[in-house]
């Protein structure tokens, strides 16, 4: 937004109001404005004031040009969710709306085929010094999919933070035009993609897709309940029952209920919403999807009116949603460094105060963070009962939230192998922090486990880190630089991360250059005084690439009967700060 424009002789002054304090954006925008003015008014003296206005009332600072973001979800695969997504998008476009579609089913992207875009590649444009992806267009809809980036037969092997990073790229690094509706075709179930979505953008509402079959409805209820978690609080717009009946072309009046009856109405009743459509199994739907021409784009299709009626019903539900509910808000790594001496006194009456405290922390923050990181020392110091508290805590952490063992282990090969078995097999952590200073054979036993992450101590946040980590060799390279460079020979961005302390913001740009595609676990924000603004500015990559950790500053925010509310308040403050930086 431009404000306070003044023209006095050769002097031009105005203000540009931004919603995020992005130094690169401010600089690029400033010079771009001056360059454009100079083309038509070369003698002008230009004065530009850049103002930041990121208020709590800004519900969508990530995609401000998008009016509504609709998640299309299901509990299980094979219910025709992508077919519904494509035909809803095309139907909305047919009604005159500006529509975008993100294929967030990253493991099985089918949107390119259904939209007739197989083999096409999106263009990349340099805008204000940043590369932006231009979504492709088909049937009046702007579309992005991982299927435009990889070959059709190429397997997408990603998990955890890198999955979320790819979805964030589709949201933040695509040059989306002004849109009335952005539909997001989610993978089935609940997991990293769904969690990343609600933490990145304010989702207006979710549309649930199921078949009439009981097992499909059971799984759809679980997927639906994720959106209804406290303070995720994404309204359910409605239910689409797909494959409601089979009608053969030669007997158009006949209906054969192959998958039973009533599943859609049952799910709508459970979610206190409406069934917005029943879609039958008709051969032309499959043929249109395979040919890249959805039935909603076919003027002579008998099903086109049915999908347009579905779109109209969704619009009605959106109007109801806007009348009844406040705008949705965006939903960090939460440390569990539980010091038994700092637990609120009223919890000490429980048989396991440490677990009760952790349980309260998890309940207060599980919709605000992407990972929990128990510090093993606080449990080991309590002996066997501490390990029991840890085991119960790990069982209580929701399955879709990443778990990190803050153990900092590192020993000779055989010993490291036993440590790895403990954390990855017995305790089933997703990741573990390790000390690299005994070399390759202390790290590689951890890397041998599939679908697990090893987080190497790179440059730590403690005061004494300078004693050794900053030592330089004869070539002037620091010890931490050599560690980060050497360990990349043993792992890759899909199984290796680095601990980089937020208390060293001056080093982040240089470390990011050494490990461009790797995620950083960033401790030191909060109680240790780390600068989160500097961390984001210098440390993020195309996937954001940062897991920012805060422990003591949040979990000990209060010690009275209302400690859980204080924890949540502190976590929400940090989550908003991070959302503003990502905007």
Cβ contacts of 547 within 8 Å, gap of 6 or more: 161, 333, 370, 371, 497, 519, 520, 521, 522
For the chain, first and last CA: distance in Å? 16
DSSP line for 30-79: HHHHHHHHHHH-TT-EEEEEEEE---TT-S-SSSTTEEEEEEEE-SSTTS
Q: Which residues are catalytic?
A: 408
3-state SS string for 399-416: CCCEEEEEEEECCCHHHH
Check residue 421 and give left, alpha or beta (phi > 0: left; psi -120 to 50: alpha).
alpha
Six-digit token string for 479: 């010890």
- DSSP structural state of residue 235: P
Biggest CA-to-CA distance, the chain: 85
CA 321/CA 365 separation, integer angstroms: 26
Of 451, 328, 277, nearest in space to 68 by CA: 328
Report the alpha-carbon distance of residue 480 to residue 458 in Å, rounded.
Answer: 6
What is the C-alpha to C-alpha distance for residues 57 and 580, in angstroms, rounded to an integer? Answer: 12
Rounded to the nearest angstrom, the gap between the alpha carbon of residue 27 and the centroid of all alpha carbons in its chain is: 28
State the DSSP string of 408-448: EE--SHHHHHHHHHIIIIIS--SEEEE--TT-HHHHHHHHT
Q: How far apart are CA 384 and CA 569, in angstroms?
A: 33
Non-local (6+) Cβ contacts of 94 within 8 A are: 140, 296, 297, 308, 311
439 to 410, 445, 481: CA distances (angstroms): 9, 12, 14
Place of tokens 């509706």: 181
In degrees rounded to 5, what are phi and psi of residue 17?
-95, 120
Closest CA to 306 of 294, 318, 317: 294
Residues 6+ apart with CB under 8 A from 245: 255, 256, 257, 258, 280, 281
């Amino acid at each position: 937004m431009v404000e306070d424009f003044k023209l006095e002789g050769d002097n031009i002054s105005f203000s540009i109001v931004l919603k995020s304090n992005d130094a690169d954006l401010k600089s690029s925008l400033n010079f771009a404005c001056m360059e454009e003015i100079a083309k038509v008014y070369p003698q002008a003296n230009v004065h530009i004031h850049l103002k930041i206005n990121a208020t709590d009332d800004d519900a969508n600072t990530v995609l401000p040009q998008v009016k509504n973001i609709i998640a299309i979800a299901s509990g299980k695969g094979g219910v025709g969710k992508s077919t519904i997504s494509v035909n809803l998008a095309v139907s909305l476009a047919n009604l005159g709306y500006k529509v975008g579609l993100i294929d967030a089913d990253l493991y099985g992207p089918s949107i390119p085929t259904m939209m007739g875009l197989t083999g096409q590649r999106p263009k990349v444009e340099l805008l204000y010094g940043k590369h932006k992806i231009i979504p492709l267009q088909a049937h009046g809809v702007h579309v992005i999919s991982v299927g435009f980036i990889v070959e059709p037969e190429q397997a997408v092997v990603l998990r955890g933070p890198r999955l979320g990073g790819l979805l964030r790229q589709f949201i933040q690094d695509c040059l989306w035009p002004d849109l009335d509706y952005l539909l997001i075709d989610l993978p089935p179930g609940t997991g990293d993609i769904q969690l990343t979505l609600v933490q990145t953008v304010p989702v207006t509402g979710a549309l649930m897709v199921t078949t009439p079959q009981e097992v499909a409805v059971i799984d759809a209820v679980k997927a639906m309940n994720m959106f209804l978690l406290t303070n995720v609080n994404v309204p359910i717009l409605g239910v689409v029952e797909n494959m409601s009946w089979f009608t053969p072309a030669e007997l158009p009046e006949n209906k054969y209920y192959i998958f039973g009856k009533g599943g859609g109405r049952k799910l709508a009743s459970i979610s206190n919403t409406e069934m917005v459509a029943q879609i039958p199994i008709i051969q032309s739907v499959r043929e249109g999807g395979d040919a890249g021409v959805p039935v909603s784009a076919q003027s002579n299709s008998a099903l086109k009116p049915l999908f347009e009626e579905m779109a109209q019903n969704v619009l009605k539900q959106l109007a109801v949603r806007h009348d009844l509910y406040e705008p949705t808000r965006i939903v960090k790594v939460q440390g569990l460094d539980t010091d038994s001496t700092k637990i609120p006194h009223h919890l000490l009456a429980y048989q396991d105060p440490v677990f009760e405290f952790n349980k309260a922390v998890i309940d207060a923050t599980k919709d605000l963070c992407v990972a929990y990181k128990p510090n093993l020392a606080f449990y080991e110091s309590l002996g066997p009962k501490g390990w029991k508290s840890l085991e119960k805590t790990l069982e209580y952490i929701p399955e879709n939230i990443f778990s990190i063992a803050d153990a900092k282990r590192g020993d000779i090969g055989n010993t490291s192998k036993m440590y790895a078995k403990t954390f990855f097999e017995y305790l089933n952590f997703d990741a573990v922090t390790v000390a690299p200073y005994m070399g390759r054979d202390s790290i590689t036993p951890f890397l041998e486990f599939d679908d697990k992450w090893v987080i190497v101590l790179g440059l730590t946040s403690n005061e004494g880190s300078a004693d050794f980590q900053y030592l330089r060799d004869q070539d002037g390279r620091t010890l931490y630089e050599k560690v980060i460079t050497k360990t990349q020979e043993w792992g890759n961005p899909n199984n290796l991360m680095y601990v980089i302390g937020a208390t060293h913001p001056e080093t982040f740009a240089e470390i990011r250059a050494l490990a461009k595609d790797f995620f950083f676990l960033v401790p030191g924000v909060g109680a240790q005084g780390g600068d989160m603004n500097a961390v984001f500015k210098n440390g993020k990559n195309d996937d954001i690439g940062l897991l920012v950790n805060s422990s003591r500053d949040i979990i000990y925010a209060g010690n009275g009967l209302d400690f859980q509310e204080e924890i949540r308040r502190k976590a929400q403050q940090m989550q908003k700060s991070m959302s503003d930086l990502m905007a």
